[in-house]
Structure 1
Amino acid sequence: MDSIDEILGELPLPPYVTAEDITFAVKAITVHVSEQWPEGPRCRNDRASHPCRLHRWGRRVLDQRGLTDRQIRRLIAEQNVSQP
């Protein structure tokens, strides 16, 4: 975890997960993907250690919703197809 993560802590989860939260969570996971750097995996978007805060938040939202890994992969694939 980066020092900024230690200071800021985790992003709070919504009290209940809506369809809009799922959309935001999938977007967070697809934008904040891992990229290999000499010092190890970093977030492609913000260069923080991967998984970064937003990637972790997105994953926690989807986990809270009860989605399986297979369902999450399908949502990510659909997101990637719909991007121009």
Structure 2
Amino acid sequence: MDSIDEALDEIPLPPYISAEDVTFALRAISVHAAEQWPDGPRCRNDRAPHPCRLHRWGSRILTMRGLTDQQITTMLAEQEAARP
């Protein structure tokens, strides 16, 4: 088995998306970003084929919240700038 992603189902979404869920989703996308490997893009955190489960979950949360790609990119940059 190539990765744990193949053995597990998708992470369930909450019944409604809170501001806290958006924060967690942004963090998931940031931590589980793509990294180029000889066999293709893999998750920087768990080396699963990209996008991994947590990256997909974060993307689904933000999409359900109605955020555009530009808004997500801006929020990720702001989150990165706020880290110590």
TM-score band (shorter)?
A: over 0.9
Could you list the runs of 5+ residues in structure 2 that have no partner in the other structure?
Answer: none
Per the TM alignment, residue 6 of structure 1 is displaced from its structure 2 partner at its CA by 3.1
**CA distance, structure 1, for counterparts of residue 67 and residue 31 of structure 2:** 19
Could you list the runs of 5+ residues in structure 1 that have no partner in the other structure?
Answer: none
Per the TM alignment, residue 3 of structure 1 is displaced from its structure 2 partner at its CA by 5.0
Superposition CA RMSD, Å? 1.1
2:61 match: 61
1:19 match: 19
Q: TM-score, normalised by structure 2?
A: 0.93
Change (3 A) 1:27 1:10: same
Greater helix share, 1 or 2?
Answer: 1
Q: Which runs of 4+ in 1 moved over 3 A?
A: none
Kindly provide the CA deviation profile for residues 12-61 of structure 1, in whole angstroms up to 9, marking residues without a partner as x: 01100000000000000000000011111000000000000000000000
Secondary structure (helix, strand or coil) at the match of 1:14 reads coil
**CA distance, structure 1, for counterparts of residue 47 and residue 5 of structure 2:** 13
2:73 match: 73
- Percent identity, please: 69
Q: TM-score, normalised by structure 1?
A: 0.93
